[in-house]
Amino acid sequence: MSKRPLSKFSRRSFMKSGLVGAVSTILPGDYIKGNTEELYPLITPVGTDDTDWQKVRSQFILERGVTYMNNASLGMPPAIVINAVKNGYEAISSEPLHGKHDLQEQITKEVIPGLANMFGTQSDEIVLTRNASEALHMQATGLKLKPGDEVIITTQEHPAGLGPWMYRQERDGIKVKQIFIPSPLTSESDVVERFSEAITPKTKALSFCHVTRGGHLYPVKQLASMARKRGLLTLVDGAQAVGQFPIDIHALGCDAYAVSLHKWILAPAGTGFLYIRRDARDRIKSVFAADTTLESPGIDPPGTKDFPVRAAILAALNFVNKLGQENIEKRCRFLSDYLKNGLEEIQGVTLLSGASPSLSAPGSTIFEKDGLDAMEAVPLIENKIQTHIDEHQRDGHNAIRVSTHFYNNTGEIDSLLSALS
């Protein structure tokens, strides 16, 4: 591939190439490691087959010969997002005062409104965080509780969703009640019933994943509705959900929603946000400021932020919006169904991810294989076929997790299935 010359940077060029024109910006050739294909102009795919998404795949700079199927841990940002971060750091380094001001303005006027528009919230209901883990800590430690109050969680929580509650149990004397949820999920009504049966007069909140680490899709809207009728708050871990399918947080009816943007949305590492519903601000308070009001809740973590990284979130939003969230969901569902069908043909494999779209998210698939330890499988597959996957040793399962995104293809899945056979 011939290298494109680096254009001379100005702080205004960041506003154009990194954000507003993000869907058409091409990363300089210096950054395209191991990729000899041209970066095609980004177009909206019309189908779900590999051929429909081939040109989209060219927007990523993954080393040739390497397959990445661990998107549930950390997404693979496209070239335009990397370029936006680079432009942001050049802006803040070449003209520190103006560069910082421009980045802050971009975050306030475009990034946060862009997130609010994408996820169906108001801008003042969102605060940016470094990740969902930080947001989960903020919502859990900010919830007003007294000794003896109960919070119900599940056995499928991420450590970042469990840890803050255990801390509050030790520090504040609350009671954390864990309910067992099976893998795969049996039905939406079963999940709701398990929560409902665990509620007591001392219960104050339900806390659970929208999509679990293993890809189980919880009925958030039904759970939030049930909780609201009983005077309870609903706090949701949305780290594994956003970016796999369209989400309207307001329509879900939850009171708090924690997000990582560096997984399925493909924003830079170290980006996320916390949503707190306006009418829940009197019960979920700031952990950083004592003097707060409903109008100025003071939820935002203090200190200097990574402005270039946060401003580059908009490049990721533009990229995803150009592809279309519905298209992404269909493509991800096509790939996960292809993977599941292939796994079912392998002797000794037990699928732990459901087939129903109402119970299983389109990205992550978990399974066990007789005689194959999950921890040993990760380096084994990497060394054998240069494919990155992950383990899922949770809930008593010795499972493997494969999390495909729209830029993966059936050929890569075939190679994985062959290695597992």
- In order along its 421 residues, the chain shows pLDDT tens digits of 443 333 333 444 444 444 444 443 333 333 333 333 345 678 899 899 999 999 999 999 999 999 999 999 999 999 999 999 999 999 999 999 999 999 999 999 999 999 999 999 999 999 999 999 999 999 999 999 999 999 999 999 999 999 999 999 999 999 999 999 999 999 999 999 999 999 999 999 999 999 999 999 999 999 999 999 999 999 999 999 999 999 999 999 999 999 999 999 999 999 999 999 999 999 999 888 766 666 667 788 888 999 999 999 999 999 999 999 999 999 999 999 999 999 999 999 999 999 899 999 999 999 999 999 999 999 999 999 999 999 998 878 999 999 999 999 999 999 999 999 9
Cα–Cα distance for residue pair 400/240, rounded to 1 Å: 17
Cα–Cα distance for residue pair 179/156, rounded to 1 Å: 9
Instruction: Tell me, yes or no, if the two domains 132-261+271-305 and 325-420 fold the same way.
Output: no
pTM beyond 0.85: the answer is: yes
Q: Which CATH class is domain 325-420?
A: alpha beta
Per-residue pLDDT at 26 = 36
Residue 131: both structure tokens together: 């990740």
Residue 151 DSSP SS3: strand
Q: In the chain, what are the domain boundaries?
A: 11-104+317-323, 132-261+271-305, 325-420
Distance from CA of residue 49 to its chain's centroid? 24
Per-residue pLDDT at 287 = 83
Best CA proximity match to 388, nearest among 399, 377, 373, 372:
377
Going from the C-alpha of 366 to that of each of 72, 75, 173, 232, 418, the distances in angstroms are: 12, 18, 36, 32, 17
Bridge partners, residue 387, by sequence:
67
Best CA proximity match to 143, nearest among 172, 170, 115, 106:
172
Cα–Cα distance for residue pair 395/137, rounded to 1 Å: 22
397 Cβ neighbours under 8 A, 6+ residues apart: 183, 352, 366, 368
Per-residue pLDDT at 207 = 98
CATH of domain 132-261+271-305: 3.40.640.10
Per-residue pLDDT at 37 = 39
Cα–Cα distance for residue pair 238/276, rounded to 1 Å: 13
Tell me phi and psi for residue 265, to 5 degrees: -80, -20
